[in-house]
A = this chain, B = another copy of it.
Amino acid sequence: MAVYTEVTDEDMAAFLEGYDLGGLLSCKGIAEGVENSNYLLHCEAGFFILTLYERRVAEADLPFFLGLMEHLAERRITCPQPVKNRKGVALGRLAGRPAVIVTFLDGIAVRRPVAQHCAMIGEGLARLHDAGSDFTITRANALSVDGWEPLFRAAEMRADNVLPGLAVAIADELSYLERHWPKHLPSGVIHADLFPDNAFFLGGKLSGVIDFYFACNDMFAYDIAICLNAWCFEPDMSFNITKGMALLDGYQRIRPLTVEESEALPLLARGAALRFLLTRLVDWLNVPEGALVRPKDPIEYVKKLRFHQQAQSARDYGLLK
């Protein structure tokens, strides 16, 4: 949850004057997202979300993120839509930060997904991969294998404070993944952060996807591996193969995996677990004074990583074919 940046009344009024949304009727900080400040705006034109981009989101990447949301919506992927101001521009500045108003998207994020949710998320992810295939802007994945070493360096000295032996375990895993990371799997635009927080359901269907601020160009199967990590473990960190099966089956109903993708799945799942382990570890070790955000526990991903290290093949995730 996060509202980092406070906006003065005058700045807010001046910012909104640039839009055709009518008068502001209400503005409430919402406890959502850990990277940005989010406000729910009630304007005469309706309800909207105002996002102020904080650390980790590079301003140069915003045209990619905003363009992607428009591109996907044109291809019937339901996601928030950037609202353009009177000059036809979606990206503005407010309180010294890049700022965007997007449409308010109904839907409920499930806290405890069941297998049916996993099936819908698998299918939705495949549709998203298809829909992004003709998006022309590209963005490298800064948090793929090349980005893990610098993250590890930032956390290495204090990693053992979190869990004895963690620094060596990460160094070994990193070394292994750097040597074996696949290079030629089918790639395109991936969401790269499709956790249960970022998927909305309504009436028993996936109703929308939000938070595209880690989206990038990378291997499709890596996005599946992220979802296996995010959706298919139980609270005790055991892997639920029924959920994995549902997710992979849902995905393949839209886009069947190649043999190479299937074979790479355990390795990609290791990489995905290490990626979230590293970012959580860095956040855990660097909670700023007076922080309003409780960092997520990195240990969760140590346990998930151990599962992946034991996996023999994609069958261990529920892949049937």
Binding site for B on A (CB under 8 A): 1, 3, 6, 8-9, 23-32, 40, 42, 47, 104-108, 110-112, 200, 202-203, 290, 292-294
Contacts and interface: CB of A to CB of B under 8 A. Distances in A.
A308 to B, nearest CB: 28
The secondary-structure label for the interface of chain A is loop
B108 A9 contact: yes
Question: Which of A8, A40, A110, A202 has the most CB atoms of chain B within a 10 A radius of its CB?
Answer: A40
Contact of A26 (B42, B107, B293): B107
B8 A28 contact: no
Question: Which of A6, A9, A23, A31 has the most CB atoms of chain B within a 10 A radius of its CB?
Answer: A31
A31 B3 CA distance: 7
16 contacts: A8-B112, A9-B111, A23-B202, A25-B106, A25-B107, A26-B106, A26-B200, A28-B30, A28-B40, A29-B30, A29-B32, A30-B40, A47-B47, A290-B294, A292-B293, A292-B294
Nearest to A105: B26
Contacts of A294: 290, 292
Question: 5 closest A-B pairs (Cβ-Cβ)?
Answer: A29-B31, A25-B106, A3-B31, A26-B106, A28-B30
A195 B1 CA distance: 24
Question: Which of A6, A28, A202 has the most CB atoms of chain B within a 10 A radius of its CB?
Answer: A28
B292 A27 contact: no
A25 B202 contact: yes
